[in-house]
Amino acid sequence: MASGHSGADFMTDIDLRPAAERDLDAITEIYADAVRNGTSSYELEPPTRAEMGSRFQALAEGQFPYIVAHRDNMLLGYAYAGAFRPRPAYRFTVENSVYVAPAAKGRGVGRALMADLIQRCQLLGFRQMVAVIGDGSPDSASVILHEKLGFRHAGRLEGSGYKHGRWLDTVFMQLEMNGGRSTDPDPDSLPERRFRGTA
């Protein structure tokens, strides 16, 4: 995308905020591009706007953070955290997702979204964030992004996906937050209050 702004100027003009219902058309388009043309998602057909709305609502009801980056009234990307697994012993662990519009890639949008998402998850009291990265080769932009943010490699499932005519490895990366496993759960954290029915 042609621009008269330097990369630094571009980033200073970006605003991050919680996602809203009005963002779902643009979110649906960004995700549809990732499904059709990329390997970060293992979905093969883009979900409808209605389905994306249902997913958004489920995360909102769980009080999980869901944020967007925008500039000049254009939505550049989005990120959210959700339950890593549904069983209650996993309640302190979230899985992150981040998607950037094609025209905004390589501008630092993904990193800004992820840094903000991590901070929000820390404030809510989560202890681990897991990234499940499709096509997780060492030179993958997503792998490199997560490494820069302090994630460590936690495992690889070889040949676990098949998309665009080739087998894909799935990489797991993990970030410890709020002391991780070094202390007992905080009774005032969101996951613990939800578990006890007081959130």
Contacting residues for 13 by C-beta, under 8 A, at least 6 apart: 5, 71, 72
Predicted pLDDT at 199: 86
Contacting residues for 111 by C-beta, under 8 A, at least 6 apart: 145, 148, 149
Question: How far is 136 from 171, CA to CA, in rounded Å?
Answer: 5
Indicate the length of the chain as a whole number.
199
Predicted pLDDT at 139: 87
Predicted pLDDT at 38: 94
Q: Confirm if 122 and 94 have CB atoms less than 8 A apart.
A: no
Does 9 score more than 60 pLDDT? no
Element (H, E) at 111: helix 109-124
Of the candidates 44, 109, 46, which has an alpha carbon nearest to the alpha carbon of residue 78? 109
| pLDDT tens per residue across span 50-90 | 999 999 999 999 999 999 999 988 999 999 999 999 999 99
| pLDDT tens per residue across span 89-113 | 999 999 999 999 999 999 999 999 9
Tell me the average pLDDT of the chain. 93
Q: What is the mean pLDDT of residues 144-164?
A: 97
Predicted pLDDT at 7: 53
Share of the chain above pLDDT 90, in %: 89
Contacting residues for 6 by C-beta, under 8 A, at least 6 apart: none
3-class SS at 101?
Answer: coil
Cα 165 from chain centroid (whole Å): 26
Predicted pLDDT at 137: 85
Question: How far is 155 from 135, CA to CA, in rounded Å?
Answer: 13
The first and second tokens of residue 26, run together, are 């643009």
Assign 12 a pLDDT band (cuts: 50, 70, 90).
low
Assign 1 a pLDDT band (cuts: 50, 70, 90).
very low
Q: What is the 3-state secondary structure (H, E, C) of 53-80?
A: HHHHHHHHHCCCCEEEEEECCEEEEEEE
